[in-house]
Structure formats: structure tokens, C-alpha cells
Structure 1
Amino acid sequence: MGFSQALSGLRAAAINLDVISNNVANSQIVGFKSSRAQFADIYANAEVGLGTRLAGVVQDFSDGNIETTDRGLDLAVSGKGFFRFESAGEIIYSRNGQLTMDRSGYLTNASGARLTGYPAGIDFGGQPQVMQIPSVGLPAYATNSIQATFNMDTRSAIVNRGAVPFDPANANSYSYTNSVTLYDSLGTPHQSQMYFTKTAINTWEVRLVRDNEVAPEIGQLTFDGNGLLDSTSGLDAFTFAPPNGSDPMTVSMELEGSTQFANEFELAEIFQDGYVSGTLMQVNINELGEIVGTYSNEQERVLGTIALANFQSLEGLQPAGDNGWRETTESGQPIVSVPGQGQFGNIMAGAVEASNVDLTQELVAMIIAQRNYQANAQSIKSQDEALQTTMQLR
């Protein structure tokens, strides 16, 4: 009698129920991917088939919905790519981007695996490294450049430099002044003044004074007949010798866009690149996977970039538990890059990728699997009744 066919059907239905139940149990798990049991018949050249067997369990790697959390270290990949984690020397790939920063500055998931990427200064394309946020602060940076845009009042009187030497205390020795704060290599701020003196038609003398120390260099601006800046000279190296032990300072001035019109003196914009030292206050991650540190001195620095990986055959990945997978020979070697490059999606911070399990579909599949189990059980019952009838023949 054909009990074996019905028994194989019972086993298949039970396995199918196990797979469906696992999907339902993980339907609310971030980054979880649902699975489907695939079955094949057993024939082996028999006149009647010998039943069914499990051909494999295949995972569905379609994207889940993106859900916002408003937590900066919750990350989702919008598109292709897996986060790459290192755990006990093993590389694990996951779509679960719920991260925390431990006391050593490592970005880890709930299992303690550490996120990998490219630290600042490391070129993309090499071997990703474990990402560690540096605990040291940002050192002070001496001012090297002043970028500003002015309008010089062409109506100003020409100052005869031979008769009136430059003197910051004498307002008649210059035409216009404006202030700027400069920083030395120790981060000490210095109140400084930029002085502009009209020395000829369309020609202006430029001086820079730091804490009453007059730089020996003299710059020059020349405007054309339309009031536009025609040329500059001597603006690339105003030197100072701070007395507080900091390094000597060399400051350039970039005044592109300045004009000479018959309007009041006006400062349109100004920027200098120096700053005091600062401590790390906050870490954010942008859509390109760049880990951006914000410091107490209002500076921002890219501390590293998250690495993403993808595979030629996702179905060949081996589940590793904890929402992770391992590469196998069937999956092929990982393709590693950074978010937003090539085939890889962008990073969404403050969001996570929900499970791609469709509960409605799973519950319907569970009913079908249950009915299939009952049908195979009924088949065994029918086989048993037929066998009893045969044994009762006289």
C-alpha cells in the first residue's frame, strides 16, 4: 500500500507550516526577509510517484517598507545593499540598521557586531574596516584665509600716502575699515582690522592689523572703469608673529567679487577659515553613508563612510541568525562599495526597513498548508481502511 506517499506529504506539509510559522513569528523584526518552502515530487522511474520531498527553502529578498523612527542611529538602505558587520572575525551581512555606539566609539548592532566602512582618509574600494568614532576633539586651526566681498565708495577722497603715513589711530590715513576675528594655531582669537585706503583713481591700498600688530605687507586692489575688480596684488601673505607661543601666522585675503561703485562702503560677505578647538557633540549619518561629526566649535567633519555589499545571487546567502547572512560559494563574492554609488541605494537615517512578511498572505498560506496536512492524513486513513478490507477477504 502507498503509505509512503501520504507520509511524505505529511512531512512536507509540516515543514511548510514550520516555514510559514517562522515568517509570522518574525513579521515585526527589522530587516527580516520571509522564506518559502519549495517541494519536488519523487518519481525514480516508478509507475506511480513515491511522494514529495523538500527541494529547498528560498528567501525573498524584496524590500520591506521604510518606517521612520526619528533616531539618528537607526538606518535603512533605500535600494540595494547590505550593511557589513564584523563579529568575532566573521563578516555578517544584514539589512537591520539599528545601531548603537558603545563606550569605545564602535557602531554596533544588537548582537554586538561592529559596522564596517571606510574611515576618513581611506580610499573607497579597499578592504572596509571596523568603524570607530574618534573620541579626541578637533584641534584648533589657525586662520590661513579671509574671503570677503566689499563695495568701495568711489567718491572717497584720494589719500596722499607721502603726506599722510598709515596710522590705525589716525582716521584720515585710511578710507575704510572693517573688523574680522583671526585665530592662531593655539585657537586664541585675535581681533583684527582690515584697512582700505584710496591712493589713486581706481586703486586701493589694503592693510591687515592684528591686535595692533601691523602686518608689513601691503596689498593693492585695482578696479576698471565699470567698477569691477580688475586685478589684485600682495594679498596672499600677510604675516604676524603672535607673542603667545603659537606658530607664526600667514593670512591671505581673497576679495573676488568686490566692486567700486558710487555707493556707501559695504561688506557683502566675509569668512575666515580658523577656529578654536572643539569636542565632539553629535554624530549624524547622511544619505551617502557619511558619518558626520559636529563639534562644539560649530565645525563638521566626515569621520568615515559606511560600506555596503551586494551579491550576484542573494538566494545563495546562508542565514546566520540575528537578521544576518553569510556569503557562500552559491552567493558569489561580495561586491563592496558605498551608498549612492553604482547599483547601491542611499542611506535613510532615522528610519528602519520593516520585515517584508505579508501577514495576510502568510495566514492564507497557513490555512492551505493545514488543509494539505489534513488531506494527507485522510489519505493514510483511506489506505488503512483499504488494507483492512483486503485482510478481511476470505
Structure 2
Amino acid sequence: MGFSQALSGLNAAATNLDVIGNNIANSQTVGFKAGRTLFADVFAGAQAGLGTKVAAVMQTFNSGTLENTGRNLDVAISGNGFFRLIQNGEAVYSRNGQFNLDASGYIVNAQGARLTGYSEGVIGSDPEPIFISTGGLQATATTQVNATLNLDSATDAIDRGTVAFDPADDATYSYTSNITIYDSQGNAHPTTLYFSKVADNSWEVNMSRGGELATNTGSITFDVNGVLDTVTNLDSFQFSPGGGVADLDLALDLDGTTQFGNDFELTAATQDGYAAGSLVGIVIDDRGNVVANYANAQTRVLSTITIANFTNPEGLEPIGDNVWVESPASGQPIENSPGVGLAGTVSSGVVENSNVDLTRELVNLIIAQRNYQANAQTIKVQDEVLQSAVNLR
């Protein structure tokens, strides 16, 4: 009698119901990937077949919809790939980008698995757990000043044979521009640049800090079109602030400066020093960079999130908590930064919802239920036929 076929159908249908029920239960689980049951017949040379079996439960890795959360540490992958995390010393992979900072300063998921990335944005290095130091950013002394300006070509020249430069006497220079520089301990020093026209197309450049005149005097010349031609001695303006800080040695870059028949105008001025600053926030940008923001308006890329791809994602082994581990069927991970090669891009402030289609799953549930009932009916009919045979006289 064919009880075995019907029993195999019941077992397979029950597994299918389990898979569908699991999909429905996780329809609101961030990063969840729906499963589907694959069936295979059991033949083994029997004329009528020996029933069915569950060949595999396969997960579908098509993307879910993205939902805006506004949290800086919520991240979603658009396209292929998985976040790489370290959980109990093992590399695991997930599409759930709901991250936060733990008490030790690591970016972790809800289970405490640590998100990994390329340290300080050095792509190609070994991925490491992303660590956020709560310490402040150390002060850095100014070494480079950049300024772009226009010097009025109609300005009268100053005869240096009779008029010596004196920062206290505005008759000894043509124009000034102010900029703030920083010493090795982050103290701010208001500094003045002096430009003195000493001949046609030729200017003298001086610098002072709080009344202290730099030990160096530079010069610049322009061609007949008013374009900067040569610069001399602009690479070492030195000051001695005292107070236990290192001496300052500044280079001045005037690239783009012109001498046209227009008013004196400073169009850009920057310098590379800054005061110390405390950490005020962490953001993840669209390139996957984990960026620290400091109170001194400085930013630093601490790490770049690692995205892992697999030749056969369906071969990954699920271990729960929205993570998978690699298996022989999946192949080894192909790791890269977001948007490079096969790696998808990332978006900050959003999460990827479950890819479960509830409407489809409810339809599948009805079909699975009918399948289960049909197999149960087969057993009932087989039982009736058996009883008829037993009752023959």
C-alpha cells in the first residue's frame, strides 16, 4: 500500500509550512531574506514512485525596500554584498545595518557582533573591527598658509632705498591681510601678511605675529599679463611664540594670485593648523567611510566599511540573529569597499526591510495547506482500501 508516499508528502508539506510561517514571522525583521522550499521526488526504480522529499530550503537574496530612520549609525546596502562582522571570533555576514556603539567604543549590531572595516580608510588592508576612540583630536601646529588674492597693478611702488619696512607704519607697505595660525599646543595667533610693491610687477612679502616680525622676507613677481611668475623665499617664515611651545616655521603658498588693474581683494585664505578638539559625533557617508567630527571643525576618516560578496550567496549557512557564515557551497568572500567591483553602495540613515512579500506568502500558505490536506486524504483513502481488503471473506 502507498502509505509511505503520503507520509513523505505530509512531512514535506509540514516543512514547507514551517518555512512559510518563518517568512511571515520575519516580515518585519530588518535585513531578513525569505526562504523557499525545494522539493524532489523519490523514485529509486519503483514503478509508482516512493513519494517526495525536501531537497533544500533556499533563501532568496533579492533586496528589500529601504526605510529612512535618520540614525547616523543605521546603514543599508543597495545592491550586492553583506556587512562583515566578527562574532565570537568568527567572521559572519549580515544585511541588517542597525548598528550602535558599545561601551568599549566598537560599532556593533544588536547581538554585539563587531562591524569590520579598512582601518583609517586604507583599502586592501585586513578588515578590522571598527573602533571609535572617545579621546579628542590633538592640536596641530600650522606649517602651511595658502592665500589667493589680487594686488592692484596701479599701486605706487615704495622705494626701499629710502623707506624701510615697518609693520607699525602703514606708509611702508601697500596692503595687508589677516589670518589666524596655531602653535603646537593649539593656541591661536592672529597673523598679518604684508604686501609691498617695490617695483613694476615686483612685490615684497612680510609676515608678523602679535608684533613679532618673521625672520624671513619673501618676494613675488608677475609677468606683463599680471599672472604670478616667480616666488622667492616664501617657504620659511619663522616665529618663536615662547610659553613652552615649539617654534613656528611656515610656508606661504600664493598660487593663483594675480596683479590686475582692480582693487586689492583676498579671494581665499586657508592654513593647516588647528586647536585640540573633542569628539562630537560619528557619521557614515555614502562611500562607507566612518567619519569622526570634532569640536574644532575637523573631520577624520577612521575606517571604511567592508562589503563582502560571494560567488553563490544562496550557499551561505544561516546561523540565526540575521547572520550567515560562509560554507563550501558559498565559496570564499570577495571583500571590497562600497561601490567597488561587485560591492553594492551604502546609504546612511536608512535600513533595508525584510524582502518577504506578505501577499505572496499568504497565497503560498493556502497552497501548502491544501497540499497537506491532500496528502492526509491520501492516507485516509489508503486506510479505507486496506480495511476493505481485510474484511474480504
Q: Please give the TM-score of this superposition, normalised by the length of structure 1.
A: 0.98
- Tell me which stretches of 4 or more aligned residues in structure 1 moved more than 6 Å: none
Alpha-carbon distance, 1:124 to partner: 2.5
1:351 aligns with 2:367: no
Alpha-carbon distance, 1:352 to partner: 0.6
Q: Distance in 1 between matches of 2:76 and 2:206?
A: 53
Matches within 5 A, 1:93-242: 93-120=93-120, 123-242=122-241
Secondary structure at the counterpart of residue 294 of structure 1: strand
One-letter amino acid matched to 1:258: T
Q: Which runs of 5+ in 2 are unaligned?
A: none
Q: Distance in 2 between matches of 1:115 and 1:144?
A: 36
Q: Distance in 2 between matches of 1:340 and 1:6?
A: 50
Secondary structure at the counterpart of residue 325 of structure 1: strand
2:13 match: 13
Q: What does the per-residue CA deviation read over 1:264-320, in whole Å, with 9 as the maximum and x for residues that have no partner?
A: 211111111111000110101111111011100001110111111111111111101
Q: Distance in 1 between matches of 2:66 and 2:187?
A: 47
| Count of aligned pairs | 393
Q: Distance in 1 between matches of 2:224 and 2:114?
A: 64
Matches within 5 A, 1:258-297: 258-297=257-296
- Decide which moves more: 357-366 or 247-256: 247-256
1:48 match: 48
Q: In angstroms, what is the RMSD of aligned CA positions?
A: 1.1
Alpha-carbon distance, 1:126 to partner: 3.2
Q: Distance in 2 between matches of 1:194 and 1:126?
A: 44
Alpha-carbon distance, 1:392 to partner: 2.3
1:313 match: 312
One-letter amino acid matched to 2:373: Q
Q: Distance in 1 between matches of 2:154 and 2:391?
A: 127
Q: Distance in 1 between matches of 2:344 and 2:7?
A: 46
Alpha-carbon distance, 1:247 to partner: 1.1
Q: Which runs of 5+ in 1 are unaligned?
A: none
Secondary structure at the counterpart of residue 153 of structure 1: coil
2:365 match: 366
One-letter amino acid matched to 1:35: G
1:77 aligns with 2:61: no
Alpha-carbon distance, 1:63 to partner: 1.0
Sequence identity percentage: 54
Q: Distance in 1 between matches of 2:128 and 2:91?
A: 11
Alpha-carbon distance, 1:353 to partner: 0.7
2:63 match: 63
1:332 match: 331
Q: Distance in 1 between matches of 2:139 and 2:356?
A: 51
Q: Distance in 1 between matches of 2:253 and 2:260?
A: 19
Q: Distance in 1 between matches of 2:260 and 2:348?
A: 48
Q: What does the per-residue CA deviation read over 1:228-284, in whole Å, with 9 as the maximum and x for residues that have no partner?
A: 211111111111112121111111111111111222211111111111000110101
Q: Distance in 2 between matches of 1:116 and 1:264?
A: 54
Q: Distance in 1 between matches of 2:117 and 2:226?
A: 51
1:91 aligns with 2:91: yes
Secondary structure at the counterpart of residue 12 of structure 1: helix
Secondary structure at the counterpart of residue 384 of structure 2: helix
Q: What does the per-residue CA deviation read over 1:159-200, in whole Å, with 9 as the maximum and x for residues that have no partner?
A: 111211111111111111111111111111111110011100
One-letter amino acid matched to 2:110: A
Q: Distance in 1 between matches of 2:189 and 2:132?
A: 32
Q: Distance in 1 between matches of 2:208 and 2:190?
A: 9
Q: Distance in 2 between matches of 1:327 and 1:340?
A: 22
Alpha-carbon distance, 1:125 to partner: 2.3
One-letter amino acid matched to 1:70: G
